[in-house]
């Protein structure tokens, strides 16, 4: 039998802070609500011990913004006349070295939430006294952490409603944090349930987490956005990188296109007729939707800056469009490098 519903479970210790109805209400804000519903996703409001038990330590490692700001970006050193094969190898090597280096700058951060589609019998048994786990795709929120962040924000004088007590203010801030964290996690459910599984590589985490946060930011209201901005300013690069998207995309629809390009690893949405145009004229004049153009434009711009302009037109461009590459990751790795390049200046 196939059950279509979302299960919400809240640790009884947090019953005074938040209700199931509120959690359901928050989930409906997510553009992926129907997906959670159709896949019988379970949502647990639990504590940080459970979240850390379920989310493996290597997935809690992220990039420190200040460290990244200090780092030099690599330059590609080839000229237009260099053989294509050499360029291809050189580019690939340089990109891999860049991401290998970046991994060294990762450090462990506490996470507010986690999505997991790999609940094992061992986990169910181990955590049975704390939480009623089942083998379903699940979202976990560390309510104690959300409350701590809320208390800190409250003590810095962030007041989101003038008529409430300090205690009520903390609860309201915590609810707002839980709301954003839930929507963030629904993005991970979206990619995972559509077959793109989380990878513990820096470039993957950068794009996946920044999009997850960009979606959360895009779908919450103005008041929640203030709290979101406040929290994210202390978060690692991958999370702060949501700004990269919102500094460039103007509409939620463009963000959703971006999410689908990331999910499907392709640009099939670009009408076939204009493919050749993209690579012979200035991409900016093309009447294609925001992000599809942006993706090509940015890689193009980077190719000029780093001296592989011709290589972009001859190899990378066709590679993206026609999928004539054994591994599309190189495009995302390159794109992640561009993101970091801009984030260094924008954060």
Residue 65 CB contacts under 8 Å (≥ 6 apart), including other chains: 236, 237, 240, 347
Distance of closest approach, residue 278 Cβ to Zn ion, in angstroms: 32
Distance of closest approach, residue 184 Cβ to Zn ion, in angstroms: 5
Instruction: Determine whether 8 is exposed, middle or buried from the number of CB atoms within 10 Å of its CB (0-12, 13-18, 19+).
Output: buried
Distance of closest approach, residue 73 Cβ to Zn ion, in angstroms: 25
Distance of closest approach, residue 188 Cβ to Zn ion, in angstroms: 5
In the complex with Zn ion, the residue whose CB is nearer, 60 or 130, is 60
In the complex with Zn ion, the residue whose CB is nearer, 209 or 224, is 209
- Rounded to 10 degrees, the C-alpha dihedral 279/282/287/289 comes to 80
Distance of closest approach, residue 112 Cβ to Zn ion, in angstroms: 9
Q: State residue 78 phi and psi, 5-degree precision.
A: -135, 160
Q: Which residues bind Zn ion (CB under 5 A)?
A: 209, 212
Nearest in space to 24 (alpha carbons), one of 153, 147, 178, 190: 178
Residue 256 CB contacts under 8 Å (≥ 6 apart), including other chains: 31
Residue 227 CB contacts under 8 Å (≥ 6 apart), including other chains: 153, 158, 160, 173, 176, 177, 180
Distance of closest approach, residue 322 Cβ to Zn ion, in angstroms: 32
In the complex with Zn ion, the residue whose CB is nearer, 209 or 329, is 209
The number of beta carbons lying within 10 Å of the beta carbon of residue 172 is 18
Distance of closest approach, residue 114 Cβ to Zn ion, in angstroms: 8
Q: How far apart are the first and last CA of the chain?
A: 49
In the complex with Zn ion, the residue whose CB is nearer, 99 or 187, is 187
Q: What is the largest CA-CA distance in the chain?
A: 69
In the complex with Zn ion, the residue whose CB is nearer, 33 or 76, is 33
| Residues 303, 341: Cα–Cα separation, whole Å | 13
Distance of closest approach, residue 74 Cβ to Zn ion, in angstroms: 27
In the complex with Zn ion, the residue whose CB is nearer, 242 or 311, is 242
What are the tokens at 162? 């003038």
Nearest in space to 158 (alpha carbons), one of 145, 169, 143: 169
Query: Which of the 8 DSSP states describes residue 179?
Result: H
In the complex with Zn ion, the residue whose CB is nearer, 8 or 216, is 216
In the complex with Zn ion, the residue whose CB is nearer, 23 or 181, is 181
In the complex with Zn ion, the residue whose CB is nearer, 90 or 109, is 109
What are the tokens at 200? 């513990």
In the complex with Zn ion, the residue whose CB is nearer, 169 or 191, is 191
Distance of closest approach, residue 108 Cβ to Zn ion, in angstroms: 15
Q: Are 5 and 37 in contact (CB under 8 A)?
A: yes
User: Given the DSSP bridges, would you call strands 138-142 and 106-108 parallel, antiparallel or unpaired?
Assistant: unpaired
| Residues 175, 150: Cα–Cα separation, whole Å | 9
Q: Which residues pair with 8 in a beta bridge?
A: 43
Specify the 3-state DSSP secondary structure of 165.
Answer: coil
Distance of closest approach, residue 37 Cβ to Zn ion, in angstroms: 21
């Amino acid at each position: 039998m196939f059950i279509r519903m979302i299960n919400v479970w809240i640790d009884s210790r947090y019953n005074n802070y938040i209700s199931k109805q509120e959690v359901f209400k928050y989930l409906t804000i997510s553009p992926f609500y129907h997906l959670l519903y159709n896949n019988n996703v379970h949502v647990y409001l639990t504590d940080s011990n459970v979240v850390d038990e379920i989310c493996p330590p290597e997935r809690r490692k992220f990039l420190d913004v200040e460290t990244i700001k200090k780092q030099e970006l690599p330059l590609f050193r080839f000229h237009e006349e260099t053989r294509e094969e050499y360029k291809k190898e050189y580019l690939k090597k340089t990109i891999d070295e860049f991401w290998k280096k970046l991994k060294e700058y990762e450090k462990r951060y506490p996470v507010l939430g986690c999505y997991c589609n790999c609940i094992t019998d061992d986990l169910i048994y181990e955590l049975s006294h704390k939480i009623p786990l089942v083998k379903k795709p699940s979202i976990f929120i560390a309510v104690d952490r959300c409350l701590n962040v809320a208390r800190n924000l409250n003590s810095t004088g962030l007041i989101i409603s003038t008529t409430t007590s300090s205690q009520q203010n903390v609860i309201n801030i915590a609810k707002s944090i839980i709301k954003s964290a839930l929507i963030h996690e629904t993005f991970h459910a979206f990619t995972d349930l559509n077959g793109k599984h989380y990878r513990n590589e820096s470039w993957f985490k950068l794009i996946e987490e920044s999009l997850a946060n960009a979606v959360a930011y895009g779908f919450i209201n103005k008041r929640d956005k203030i709290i979101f901005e406040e929290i994210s300013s202390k978060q690692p690069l991958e999370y702060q990188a949501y700004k990269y998207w919102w500094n460039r995309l103007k509409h939620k629809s463009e963000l959703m296109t971006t999410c689908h390009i990331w999910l499907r690893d392709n640009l099939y949405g670009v009408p076939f007729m204009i493919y050749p145009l993209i690579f012979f004229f200035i991409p900016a004049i093309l009447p294609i939707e925001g992000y599809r153009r942006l993706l090509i434009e940015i890689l193009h711009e980077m190719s000029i800056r780093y001296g592989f302009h011709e290589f972009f037109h001859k190899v990378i461009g066709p590679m993206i469009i026609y999928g004539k590459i054994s591994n599309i990751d190189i495009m995302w790795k390159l794109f992640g490098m561009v993101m970091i390049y801009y984030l260094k200046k924008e954060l």
